Structure 1
Amino acid sequence: MTSHSPDRRLFSAAADAAVEHFMLTAHDWVPNNARLPVLHYRQAIVRPDAGLDLASTMEQRFNRNGWPPQWRWGIYDFHHYHTEGHEVLGVFAGSAQVMLGGPGGRTVTLEKGDVVVLPTGTGHCCLSHSDDFTVVGAYPPGEHADINRAAPDAAARRRISTTPFPDSDPVTGAGGPLTALWRHAGR
């Protein structure tokens, strides 16, 4: 790849994006993930690639980095979590207030260009949103979003704790913040 490549420019912009990471402990009936932090990349992907819209640019980026995109939509307005997949959400339109961690959890603002990575077990719920709020959802290969709205049983807890680490960061690729933080946290 040359230094003039659009991918290099976008990779550099993403690498410079502010990445906030935080842990969420079990809360109420939501298990969250005791080992892996949530990552929030602010303004990670803000310019579309040539000839593409922002949603397609996010999908291509996630796919190239080993997180095949699965859908475009919003975020459910009820608390839920997934036991069978880590989830990346890329905001390509609008903004929203999203609660992470279950009822009474942490409220974050997601805006166009933001990307959030939720490890398995992380509760999430859209509290409010602009009329145009839409995200791209993606998961590592072999993982998907089962919808859970009640306390996990032993089998669900086992799935959460044994979901494999992804091979790369969905925004920056191999060696990005996710791989560094999650591999360190998993020790």
Structure 2
Amino acid sequence: MDETRLELGLADAQGDPVAPERMVFADDERIPNSRLATLAFRSRGVSPVLDREAIAERFERLFDANGWRPSWCGGVYDYHHYHSIAHEAFGVLSGWGRLRLGGERGDDLELHTGDALVLPAGTGHCHLEASDDFLLLAAYPQDQRELDLLPADPAEHDAAVARIAQVSRLSRDPLGGDTARWWS
């Protein structure tokens, strides 16, 4: 996997996964968010010989090898939403996009080709703007086969908090790092 991480620009000098930016968002009574950190892994530059399909294949291989099941390619919905029964990972296959994380009063995050993002269950996310070619690969932990899609709604909040508390923690992040380092 070291070679795959290198090609995606997601390896440090020793070949280990790059350290992520970590962000924690407070519960806003509409979106629970998570006490676990959202992880943004910044690519140091994707190999110029890789086209979008090759980048997708590298992300699929990397995610799958680390227990994250690649699921779909596309973008992010343009309304605030979250998932209460699964963590979610994205690999950026092309272009750039700006997301708002953590709900309406959250923080904006710009992602570029080669970046990876891990959203713990409960973390709000919403598409704000993107290049025409912005495309993501989404992946979910192998043991989290189902996915719900919940809007920012106070009526759903308390039941969602209870479900989020039951979501398992993984030993590996989608790049192969020790998740306990980031989610301690």
Distance 2:114 2:143 in 1: 26
Verify the 8 A CA contact 2:99 2:127 in the aligned structure 1: yes
SS in 1 for 2:41: strand
Q: Indicate how the Cα distance of structure 1 residues 130 and 117 shifts in structure 2: closer, same or farther if over 3 A, else same.
A: same
Structure 2 unmatched runs, 5+: 13-17
Give TM-score, length-normalised by structure 2. Answer: 0.85
Shift of 1:167: 2.6
Shift of 1:161: 1.4
Verify the 8 A CA contact 2:28 2:103 in the aligned structure 1: yes
Structure 1 unmatched runs, 5+: 1-6
Q: State percent identity of aligned pairs.
A: 38
Q: Indicate how the Cα distance of structure 1 residues 82 and 130 shifts in structure 2: closer, same or farther if over 3 A, else same.
A: same
Question: Where do residues 127-146 of structure 1 align in structure 2 (5 Å cutoff)?
Answer: 127-143=128-144, 144-146=146-148
Range that drifts further, 84-93 or 142-151: 142-151
CA deviation digits over 1:31-86, x for unaligned, max 9?
101x2000000116823998961011101110011001010111111100000100
Provide the residue aligned with 2:3 in structure 1: 9
Provide the residue aligned with 2:38 in structure 1: 38
1:96 counterpart = 2:116:
no
Give TM-score, length-normalised by structure 1. Answer: 0.84
Verify the 8 A CA contact 2:25 2:33 in the aligned structure 1: yes
Q: Which amino acid aligns with 2:102?
A: G
Shift of 1:104: 2.1
RMSD of aligned Cα (Å): 2.2
Question: Where do residues 1-187 of structure 1 align in structure 2 (5 Å cutoff)?
Answer: 7-11=1-5, 13-16=9-12, 17-33=18-34, 35-43=35-43, 46-47=46-47, 53-143=54-144, 144-149=146-151, 150-151=153-154, 152-171=156-175, 173=176, 176=177, 178-182=179-183, 184=184
Provide the residue aligned with 1:4 in structure 2: none
Verify the 8 A CA contact 1:77 1:125 in the aligned structure 2: yes
Count of equivalent residues: 173
Distance 1:39 1:75 in 2: 17
Verify the 8 A CA contact 2:172 2:178 in the aligned structure 1: no
Verify the 8 A CA contact 1:45 1:58 in the aligned structure 2: no
Shift of 1:97: 0.8
Distance 1:55 1:108 in 2: 21
